[in-house]
Structure 1
């Protein structure tokens, strides 16, 4: 039998929960063991539905990155996540071994603290999720009128020879909250606000910041326009609540 003094290293990867006993000097029992618990991943259709929903709801994606799984996704995941205990194995060789139980309990603690780990177990790790969502956003940007090669405007996932992909940069900024929170010196800057024509606002040139992204100015204009539209919709809903 095992007890709660067992220590082990936990690894959660698509389709599997792996656990390996810590080295003897860190483990009071010192007996080597390793356990492996399989879990069936999402079907392709289920994955596509989740990615489509997250791409359409950026605030829910941001909440997920911050450790709060949207209710609809939590319900889907919890109904889908069923460890295959019939195929779970432990190499300790002990009768009545309860390593599997201990590993599952620790995995559940990890899942509660980091919801993305549960998605990773079911075949949707963080990198795959973010790459798919940002690719979806990039493909929604309309083609540039002056584009001669017919490429879609805003291919944010275009790969350069050096440096991170634009999607990776945006994902990191979103996870750190930098896409919506002002910088440290924000309140020290004096600005003069004035009304701008809705369709004629000036757009800063970000080309130097994103040297490998085509048509940066058009991308920023499109993002600003979409954000303004959503802000107006939100304001209308707040000012005119449904009866």
Structure 2
């Protein structure tokens, strides 16, 4: 995974790139003759990553695990360390124990002037990007969620997991369970809906309704007024479509749907007003009683 960031001006910008070894900061050369350099700020070591115990901490908070899957690294909050790995390594003096240096510069000097500048740039990126912090401690959101689920499985192991799964699923010879017993298979229905694009076109929801209790009636006269009680004779019969279109601004077919429903109601009312159709002379109900 690589992530590149840039800081400062257009002419002399420092580049920050996430690489497998850690965070690489490319410092440009200065106008005063100062040479540019590449500084590698190392990520967490395996021992440091194990000491953080992020999978165990996430597994103890099921809601946090759900937020991690939905929101990503930003849901972890204070579980991520406040200091970057190169600072933690320097505080623990891991270099004295034979571990790789927390930061290394391409100039080859152990204590050059590039390191403080690169560390300041790296710490600014660390503070503003939760995904970068999680990656530098050795995790991706999906991998951390899998490790947390593995902690759950280890806490409550099954003696025969495969047999338990088959018993729960019913086995290959078990009859297929259906809520209605008929109709298309769920997978076929989902495939048809996806092919038609309906899975990506949700219907109106509560936030689509643009109405307020204190909002003035913007289409026509206010309800309850004297003029509102008088029917309008200069329009077609049926409900007005404008208020419905204003009520559901995100639903383009609201007014058209209302017109279709109103037209069908008028047709049905006309059929009922005309009475039942005349019966044929030879029908059983049309016999003349003597």
What TM-score bracket applies, with the shorter chain setting the length? 0.3 to 0.5
- With CA pairs under 8 Å and 6+ residues apart, which has the higher RCO, 1 or 2? 1
